Amino acid sequence: MEEAKRYTKDGKVADYIPELGNANPDDLSIAINYPDGRCISAGDIDKNITLQSISKVITLALVLMERGFRYVFERVGMEPTGDPFNSIAKLETMAPAKPLNPMINAGALVVTHMLKGDSVEDRFNRLLGFIRELAGGPSVGFSEKVARSEFESAHLNRALCYFLKQHNIITEDVEILLDLYTKQCAVEMNCLDLARIGMIFAMDGVDPLNGKRIMPEDVARICKTFMVTCGMYNASGEFAIKIGIPAKSGVSGGIMGAVPGKFGIGIFGPALDEKGNSVAGLKLLELLSKNYRLSMF
Ligand code: DON
C-alpha cells in the first residue's frame, strides 16, 4: 500500500460523469477475501465505490444464466478490440454491427438490453439481488446521484445505443435502456464487498462457506476469460503480461480481481490513467502479483 500510494499523484479522477469528479484522488484501499471467510484489508476501506464498468462482468453472468450462451453470443462477440472503452469506431467498420465483446460500452449496452423483466425497476432489482447474493450481504446499495449524473451526460452512450438500434441489435427505447444501464453502473459497495464478489468468481461460482452454487461453472469461466482478454480495455495485453490475474476495472477507480482457486481482490483508487484504469490500483496489483507469484501464466 505504502509503495503504491505514491502513484495516486500520477492519475486524475474521471469527470466526464460530473458526480465522479468529487472523488478524492489520494484515496486508495484494498481488500482480499479468502474462501474460508477471512478478509484482510488496508487503506480507506469505508469509502463506497460505484461499480461502473465492473458491473459489466456481473450483468454478463446474470444474462448468460437468463438467456443462455447461444442467444447472448449471437448478439455480442468474444474478441478484444484494442480501442478505448467507449469507442464507436468498430461498430461502423465491422459487419454485422455486432459489438466485439461485452466489456466495451457498446457490448455492455447490448448485454443490459438482454436483462429480462417487465420494467426498469423489475430488471434492476433482479440484478441488485444477484449482486447482493455475490457480495454476501445487503450492504450493497445504489447511488441515485451518480446514476442521474451519468444519465444526464451520457451522450456518447446514447450515440452507441442509437447506432445499435439502427442495426436492430437493440430494440427497446434508448432512454429506458440508458436508465437501466446508468443504474447498473451506479451500484455502490466498499472494497470488502468487491473482494468477496471476486472470490466467488475465483471459486468458479460457488460460495465456499455454504457450498451454494451462485452461477454455473461455465458462466464463471467465461466471465473470467473476458476479464483476462478485455477486462482492462485497451490495456488488457500489458495487464496480462505484468500482472496476469483476471480483473475488471471501472472509471470510479475500482478494480475487482479473481485469483483462480485462491481469493478475490477489491481495490479502490479513483485516480485514473489515460485508459481509465486506477493508476495506484494497477501498481498495487503489480506488486502483489510479483511478490506472491500470482500470475496465472
Ligand atoms: O458507460 C460509462 O461510461 C460508465 N458508466 C462506465 C465506464 C467505465 O467504467 C469504463 N472503465 N474503465
Express as a percent the part of the chain with pLDDT over 90: 92
Pull the grid cell for residue 113: 438490453
Q: What is the pTM of this model?
A: 0.97
> How confident is the prediction for the chain on average, in pLDDT?
96
The answer to whether residue 93 scores a pLDDT higher than 90 is no
The answer to whether residue 95 scores a pLDDT higher than 80 is no
Average pLDDT over residues 105-125: 97
The pLDDT of residue 92 is: 84
The rounded Å distance from CA 204 to ligand 1 centre is 25
Question: Can 233 be counted among the known catalytic residues?
Answer: yes
The answer to whether residue 129 scores a pLDDT higher than 80 is yes
The pLDDT of residue 254 is: 97
Of 15, 81, 149, 251, which is best to mutate to test ligand 1, by the most ligand atoms within 8 angstroms of its C-beta? 251
Q: Which residue spans within the chain are E strands per DSSP? A: 29-33, 39-43, 49-50, 141-142, 187-189, 206-207, 212-213, 247-249, 254-259, 263-268
Q: Which residue puts its alpha carbon closest to atom 1 of ligand 1?
A: 105
pLDDT tens track for 240-260:
999 999 999 999 999 999 999
- The phi, psi pair for 116, rounded to 5°, reads -75, 150
pLDDT tens track for 256-297:
999 999 999 999 999 999 999 999 999 999 999 999 999 999
- The whole-angstrom separation of Cα 15 and Cα 278 is 14
The answer to whether residue 161 scores a pLDDT higher than 90 is yes
- The whole-angstrom separation of Cα 33 and Cα 38 is 6
- The whole-angstrom separation of Cα 131 and Cα 212 is 15
Question: Can 56 be counted among the known catalytic residues?
Answer: yes
Q: Does ligand 1 have an atom closer than 6 angstroms to the CB of 185?
A: yes
All domains in the chain, ordered by first residue? 2-291 (3.40.710.10)
Q: Out of 187, 251, 259, 279, pick the active-site residue.
A: 251
pLDDT tens track for 42-85:
998 989 999 999 999 999 999 999 999 999 999 999 999 888 88
Average pLDDT over residues 139-151: 96
Question: Can 295 be counted among the known catalytic residues?
Answer: no
Q: Does ligand 1 have an atom closer than 6 angstroms to the CB of 53?
A: yes
Q: Of all atoms in ligand 1, which is nearest to the CA of residue 54? A: 9
The pLDDT of residue 151 is: 98
- The whole-angstrom separation of Cα 107 and Cα 97 is 11
